[in-house]
Structure 1
Amino acid sequence: MRRARVERTRSGMDNRRMRRLHQAIGSGRAPGGMAALVVLAGLAFAPGRAGAAPRLTARAALVMDAASGETIWARNADDPLPPASTTKILTAILALESGRLDERFAVSEFAADTAPSKINLRPGQRMQLRDLVYAVLLNSANDAAEVVAEGLAGSPAAFAARMNEKARAIGATHAHFTN
């Protein structure tokens, strides 16, 4: 005969006992049940002891209280690091703020050859800015980001200058973009 597997909660109480307790409290058969439930809930959500720093493999990290802006924990938070695809977020912001989403931009030879992440744009192909933004954000497409930069600012260098200006305006004072 097979025995039913008893699943346990994190506190070690098996689920059948938890269901019976829940039914007793809900039916009013457990005197003081609601008070006990409130006390148990309070204990479950009580702040614990501050533990050791979290185990991370990242070179840098920051935990911030969103309401106050207070830094709760940091590791190498001010170290300069490669921005990776955060540049694409700023590219998308500038594209959206341009108000030119329906405008079509031509793909240059340089943009078409941009690697490694790409959607395989062809030189001379024309795409709406809105579609380029989707490609930048959803496919992390460097070739599309290059077309956005050329289309909005004339050159990658001029677009990088706009990115730096925008970064400072939104408080990213330690950011510096180049191409």
Structure 2
Amino acid sequence: MHPPARVSTRLLSLAVLTVLVAVLLTPLPALAKRPAKKASGPVAAEILMDAGSGKVLQGRNADTLTYPASLTKMMTLLLTFEALDRGTLRLNQNLVVSQHAASMPPSRLWLSAGSTIPVEQAILALVTRSANDVAVVLGEALGGSETAFAAKMTARAKALGMRRTVFRNASGLPDRLQRTTARDMAILSRALIRDHARHYAYFQRRSFDWQGDT
């Protein structure tokens, strides 16, 4: 498993809106052939960005390639919000759980193949539990397959200006070819705040009820 990642995004009711993204991740191996080096500890990467203008106020290793881990789910949610806004997805729509989705390792909601979950519950499962099985359910609903959805995620990332990001799955589970940077994640955070204000309140939720459990 890759080291955990932390992201903090805050919408401020002040003159200057900022997005702070702090990521503690292991960088990807260098693309060029270089002499092997002894593995080091996790590398800290951070960026402070004005959410209104996109101006970078402070950064450290902001363009270092790294694994996105569960920050990947931010893009899964962005595409979910866009589908809701287009009307191709509804909050009360039940999504079917495939065998592939049900096979995802924890963290998960322990969905069983053939069961269903409403879109809004799926959103809450991602923002509160970082559920890998639910991320795949959303990805398959939006892309037809998780692989096809990952291609859509990457294409959307490029359109947003996330130049160094490649997605390979909907959840952020380990894949050596899945990569991003702190700068790219700040761009994604800004898009979530700027373009999906009516859905942004979901990120304030600390818990939700699912089949009798909280």
* Deviation, structure 1 residue 72: 3.5
Residue in structure 1 matched with residue 118 of structure 2 by the alignment: 128
Distance 1:77 1:121, change over 3 A: same
Whichever residue aligns with residue 133 of structure 2, its letter is D
Hey, which of these two has a bigger chunk of strand by percent? 2
Q: Give the CA deviation at 1:112.
A: 0.8
Q: Higher helix fraction: Structure 1 or Structure 2?
A: 1
Task: Give unmatched runs, 5+ long, in structure 2.
Answer: 1-23, 25-41, 170-214
Counterpart-to-counterpart distance in 1, 2:144 and 2:112: 19
1:59-74 equivalent positions in 2, closer than 5 A: 59-66=44-51, 68-74=53-59
Q: Which amino acid aligns with 2:72?
A: T
The amino acid of 2:114's aligned partner reads G
Tell me, in whole angstroms, the C-alpha distance in 1 between the residues paired with 2:109 and 2:61.
35
Letter paired with 1:166: R
CA RMSD of aligned residues (A): 2.1
1:174 equivalent in alignment to 2:159: no
Q: Which amino acid aligns with 2:123?
A: V
Which residue does the alignment assign to 2:81?
96
Q: 2: CA distance between counterparts of 1:90 and 1:138?
A: 16
Distance 2:76 2:53 in 1: 28
Alpha-carbon offset, residue 65 of structure 1: 4.3
Cα deviation, residue 167, structure 1: 1.3
Using the aligned pairs only, state the percent identity.
39
> 2:143 matched to which residue of 1?
153
Using the size of structure 2 for normalisation, the TM-score is 0.53
Larger radius of gyration: 1
Quickly say closer, same or farther: Cα 1:60–1:166, change in 2 above 3 A: same
- Count of aligned pairs: 124
Letter in 2 for 1:140: S
CA distance in 2, matches of 1:154, 1:67: 34
Q: Does 1:144 align with 2:134?
A: yes
Segments of 5+ residues of structure 1 without an aligned counterpart are 1-55
> What is the rounded CA distance, in whole Å, between the counterparts of 1:171 and 1:96 in structure 2?
19
- CA deviations on 1:99-151 (whole Å, 9 max, x unpaired) are 21232211111111101210110111011122111111111000000111111
Say if 1:156 and 1:70 are closer, same or farther in 2 by CA, change over 3 A.
same
Identify the structure with bigger relative contact order (alpha carbons < 8 Å, sequence gap 6+).
2
Match of 1:85 in 2: 70
